[in-house]
Structure 1
């Protein structure tokens, strides 16, 4: 059975942060699924991918830390945190910029394709005009849902920045203590076992 001496010693709140990352990703997944049901565009597609990836990442980390230490590798966790940070900052920024492509107005202007129900559809968001034809949603609901997904994406980004910093600090201390990244015997134990091995006797050639 694999030991736990290769697992980083991190504050207890880190597991709570991982759980928050998982729950937030699940909420974003629901909002993204709602959005993509009516309209598929770059921001929501990337957000959907990042949310699914985050769920896989957090489930792996939680399971590795709590129930299956044999699959735990702190280099993998560090890399996954960096991956999540990069994709979340791109996802929520892109989605926010596209959601901002249409806003509530009380007048018409040359910047709008047309105005309906107080909403101005900008030329760079022409595809959003198709929402008006849907009977099961409306522009306000759709816009608010996508804005919520973007906001939660920003929150997820902050969560991963925190976990990356704490993991990096824990990894540095772990390495300074001479510990390893894979399950098994510690480096000190391996060195001691090597020193206890009987040395072979070799014949000495006569002059």
Structure 2
């Protein structure tokens, strides 16, 4: 019996029929991702932090449809994905701990203790590590996926924009106190190579990580 992959349930599907909708969805997702980075983060910024993550998750499952279908249990329990799964768990725990710490310290002034003494934006760091784990899992499962790696870089860039805008607001609110804190504590990654080029250093670190992932 001859099987034509372009025929689904008796309906002929042209080879390129799915490409245009996909490109449109990806373009719209990227547009809204960039748009939401410029929405003021004062007050509702905690809600806005979901958009870079949502963009990544959308692209991840779009690029790896088997993980949203019958093979999801393999994604969750497959032994060969263990390392990526551990990275996901570490990222989630970092995010959760930072989020809980922030809730406990609400309305108590500038938060500079705990995870906030390690990096200035531990919640973003946790999310970035979590999605890095997902990216590693995608590579371990079916090899290199440029779209997933690119989505991770875009997500990192999105959080850099959010964090930078947030810091401008915090400088206005706390003045010298936040300026001194900013000089002492790293930006998003717990690595301090420069006190004046934090966003660029963060992008550089992300690019190095992606390069290392190509070696897996």
TM class by shorter-chain length?
0.3 to 0.5
> Which has the higher relative contact order, 1 or 2, with Cα contacts under 8 A spaced 6 or more apart?
1
Q: TM-score, structure 1 length as denominator?
A: 0.38
State the TM-score, normalized to the length of structure 2: 0.37
